[in-house]
């Protein structure tokens, strides 16, 4: 019996529940840190008087870390094991959050982007280690269900971040879009307290996790991979990486311009602070979707669930483009509900049956998260050129590919020599 088959047939360890609780906390924290960019972006847009394309560099700085650091993080995970990699990821996130102090002090957009990149480096390490960690905490057949469960905690962090950020950031904005020097300094200072609090929590959790004895089986204590061939021969993995690129790009396109979108007179005619509250509702839809999806994926094939979710998400994106007012607002919020199961389901489908190549596969998938760096600027420049309303064609096209992957591309095909 191979190592992989013995892992899949073995009973879950007795302390799986506690390990899942630790993983859920980690997912909450990097969900919070990621989602906070949704309100940080319009905040910095006002401070530095940026256009849409320039403001989406917040997302580029964050998600480019996945392209640069995912494979090194996967290699590091293979040496350190899952737990130590998560500890390091939390510590790097904490350091990145501390860098927002000099960014606010120097009032420099470049320093803000550098701080965002470092924080994202920690998130990248967590993504690479935490996702496969959860898939191995039980039977392979229920991996999608477990990932959707912990992703629900990720969504709680994503839901709370826009609401708290709206109170702390956007409430500091003046009525005019162009700030004077005094307003710019005051608005920049508003960033310090929440990111300091985040840094303290992250560093404390890293220290606690480093001292915990999880007593996991040997295959979970270390992610060392045995020689197992090339990851490029697994079409479901390669196509899954493209699906992750499309999904993350679509999600960040929707959330990064969401606040500005709802402030448009023909859409929601809201203040930025009010729109941030609606962004929390979008993330609440993610939570509901993942809770429902966890149950559905226990009985239905992940590929079909993903495909049908992609169909409805695409229809909602097209609806918001073709309508205005309440219908446009509701349809863009509903996109979040049907996006909810996409990332964990794509991930589980893509790493299925990889055996000793799981760590490398995880690194490739996490590199594909760079879609969040590439596609939002595309939408941002489209918003500047043809209008923010029509620019939502970008996520709609992404969902078309996800439909293909769910129904066809995710199928495991015989390996060629």
Please list, in sequence order, all residues whose beta carbon lies within 8 angstroms of the beta carbon of residue 144, skipping any fewer than 6 positions away: 297, 302, 344, 345, 348, 349
CA–CA gap between residue 137 and residue 195 (Å, rounded):
32
Contact 126, 71 (CB under 8 A): no
Q: What is the pLDDT of residue 152?
A: 75
pLDDT in tens, 355-385: 777 777 877 887 888 898 899 999 999 999 9
Identify the three-state secondary structure at position 37. Answer: helix
Domain 15-409 part of CATH 3.30.70.580: no
Contact 174, 144 (CB under 8 A): no
CA–CA gap between residue 316 and residue 335 (Å, rounded):
6
Q: Residue 13, by phi and psi: left (phi above 0), alpha (psi -120 to 50) or beta? A: beta
CA–CA gap between residue 347 and residue 328 (Å, rounded):
30
Distance of CA 107 to the CA centre of its chain: 27
Q: Residue 385, by phi and psi: left (phi above 0), alpha (psi -120 to 50) or beta? A: alpha
Please list, in sequence order, all residues whose beta carbon lies within 8 angstroms of the beta carbon of residue 37, skipping any fewer than 6 positions away: 58, 59, 62, 116, 256
Q: What is the pLDDT of residue 174?
A: 42
CA–CA gap between residue 127 and residue 123 (Å, rounded):
6
Please list, in sequence order, all residues whose beta carbon lies within 8 angstroms of the beta carbon of residue 397, skipping any fewer than 6 positions away: none
pLDDT in tens, 334-353: 998 999 889 889 988 998 88
Tell me which residues of the chain have a pLDDT lower than 50: 1-14, 172-176, 219, 223-226, 416-417
Q: What is the pLDDT of residue 415?
A: 62
CA–CA gap between residue 80 and residue 156 (Å, rounded):
29
Contact 298, 145 (CB under 8 A): yes
Contact 280, 159 (CB under 8 A): yes
Contact 61, 120 (CB under 8 A): yes
> 171 — phi, psi (to 5°)?
-70, -20
Q: What is the pLDDT of residue 215?
A: 54
Q: What is the pLDDT of residue 240?
A: 93
- Count H helices and E strands in the chain, helices first: 21, 0
């Amino acid at each position: 019996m191979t190592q992989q088959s013995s892992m899949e047939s073995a009973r879950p360890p007795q302390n799986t529940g506690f390990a899942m609780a630790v993983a859920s906390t980690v997912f909450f924290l990097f969900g919070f840190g990621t989602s906070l960019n949704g309100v940080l972006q319009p905040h910095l847009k006002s401070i530095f008087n940026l256009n849409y394309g320039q403001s989406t560099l917040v997302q580029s700085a964050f998600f480019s870390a996945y392209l640069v650091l995912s494979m090194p993080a996967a290699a590091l995970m293979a040496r350190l094991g899952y737990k130590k990699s998560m500890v390091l990821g939390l510590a790097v996130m904490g350091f990145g959050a501390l860098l927002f102090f000099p960014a606010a002090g120097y009032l420099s957009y470049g320093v803000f982007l550098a701080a965002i990149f470092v924080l994202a480096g920690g998130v990248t390490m967590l993504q690479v280690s935490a996702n496969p960690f959860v898939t191995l905490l039980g039977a392979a057949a229920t991996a999608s269900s477990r990932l959707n469960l912990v992703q629900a905690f990720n969504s709680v962090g994503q839901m709370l971040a826009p609401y708290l950020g709206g109170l702390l950031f956007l409430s500091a904005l003046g009525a005019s879009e162009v700030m004077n020097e005094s307003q710019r300094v005051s608005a920049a200072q508003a960033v310090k307290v929440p990111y300091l609090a985040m840094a303290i929590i992250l560093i404390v959790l890293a220290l606690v996790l480093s001292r915990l004895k999880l007593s996991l089986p040997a295959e979970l204590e270390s992610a060392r991979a045995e020689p197992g061939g090339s990851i490029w021969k697994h079409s479901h993995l390669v196509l899954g990486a493209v699906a992750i690129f499309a999904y993350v790009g679509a999600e960040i396109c929707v959330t990064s311009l969401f606040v500005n979108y709802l402030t448009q007179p023909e859409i929601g005619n809201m203040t930025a602070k009010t729109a941030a509250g609606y962004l929390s509702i979008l993330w609440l839809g993610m939570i509901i979707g993942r809770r429902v999806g966890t149950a559905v994926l226990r009985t239905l094939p992940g590929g079909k669930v993903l495909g049908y979710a992609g169909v409805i998400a695409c229809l909602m994106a097209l609806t918001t483009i073709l309508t205005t007012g309440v219908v446009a607002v509701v349809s863009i919020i509903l996109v979040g509900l049907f996006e909810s199961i996409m990332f964990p389901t794509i991930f589980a489908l893509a790493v299925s049956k990889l055996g000793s190549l799981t760590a490398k596969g995880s690194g490739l998938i996490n590199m594909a998260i760079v879609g969040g760096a590439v596609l939002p600027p595309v939408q941002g420049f489209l918003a500047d050129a043809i209008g923010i309303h029509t620019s939502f064609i970008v996520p709609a096209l992404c969902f078309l590919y996800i439909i293909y992957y769910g129904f066809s591309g995710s199928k495991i095909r015989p390996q060629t020599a």
